[in-house]
Amino acid sequence: MSDTTGSEQPSGSGTTSIVGIAALACAACCIGPILAVLGAIAALGLVATIILGAGGLLIAAAATAAFLVVRRRRRDTPHAVTPERATVELTWRGQ
Euclidean distance between CA atoms 41 and 51, whole angstroms:
15
pLDDT tens digit sequence for 22-56: 989 988 999 999 999 999 999 999 999 999 999 99
Q: Indicate the pTM of the whole model.
A: 0.47
CA–CA dist 37, 27 (Å, integer): 15
Q: Pick the closest to residue 60 from 68, 48, 70, 71 (CA basis).
A: 68
Rounded to whole angstroms, the Cα distance separating 38 from 44 reads 10
Quote the CA–CA distance of 42 and 11 in Å, as a whole number: 46
Alpha helices, H only, the chain: 13-76
In percent, the amount of the chain with pLDDT more than 90 equals 46
pLDDT at 61: 97
User: What pLDDT shows up at residue 51?
Assistant: 97
The b-or-e profile of 40-76 (16+ CB within 10 A means b, else e) is eeeeeeeeeeeeeeeeeeeeeeeeeeeeeeeeeeeee
pLDDT at 76 over 90: no
